[in-house]
Amino acid sequence: MERVAALVEKLTNQLADKADKSQLKQTAVQLLAALSESDQFNNLPNNVSVMIPGGNEEVTDVIAKVIDSPITEQQTVEVRIPNLPKLEPVETFIPASMPVEINEVVTNTELQEKLALEPIKDLKAAIGVNDKFQFTATLFNGDEKAFEMAVKSINGFKIYAEAQFWIKSNLREQNKWDETAEVVKAFDLLVKRRFA
């Protein structure tokens, strides 16, 4: 109801300010839509008569322009409020054969495998924010500077064998990485992609 009142006030102000026809029509359409959404106005008849007083000639002239007909001293104007259908919520149909979670479908697809082996030029740029936090917390015991230095060092190597030897001798042994952990495998894959 507040929206309807605000639109009525807006329309009144537009009439007083002599707004152009398109603005008045737009506000009137918004008002009709707001009225049709309100349960209070769903049972109104389609024909509504509006009495326009002849005393205020400026307002009368603007309304006359909107409805494209001259207005005499006092004239009844018929305004049609369309019956808009009530929209029902749409129910989504999920067949029983379709899994509910998309992650169950997209596990080991060809695209995923190709992207996993796609070469990367800069290891630091290839590591996303979430991976960075996970690698820092899990592999570098929360030491962000150690993570940044390790990535910078790995980016500086020319071949994979050098980087692999350095990682094994410096990172794996110092930080006691579990070779079977998914985080370690993900980090190794990124390093491999850096030198692919």
Are 161 and 153 in contact by the 8 Å Cβ rule? The answer is no
| Span 103-121, pLDDT tens digits | 555 555 565 666 666 788 8
Rounded distance between C-alpha atoms, residue 83 and residue 120, angstroms: 60
Q: Is the pLDDT of residue 149 over 90?
A: yes
| Span 73-99, pLDDT tens digits | 555 656 666 666 676 666 666 666 665
| pLDDT score for 2 | 80
Packed helices 182-194 and 144-156: angle between N→C axes, nearest 10 degrees: 30
Pairwise pLDDT comparison (62 vs 163), residue with the higher score? 163
- Average pLDDT over every residue of 142-164: 91
Q: Is this model's pTM higher than 0.85 or not?
A: no
| pLDDT score for 57 | 56
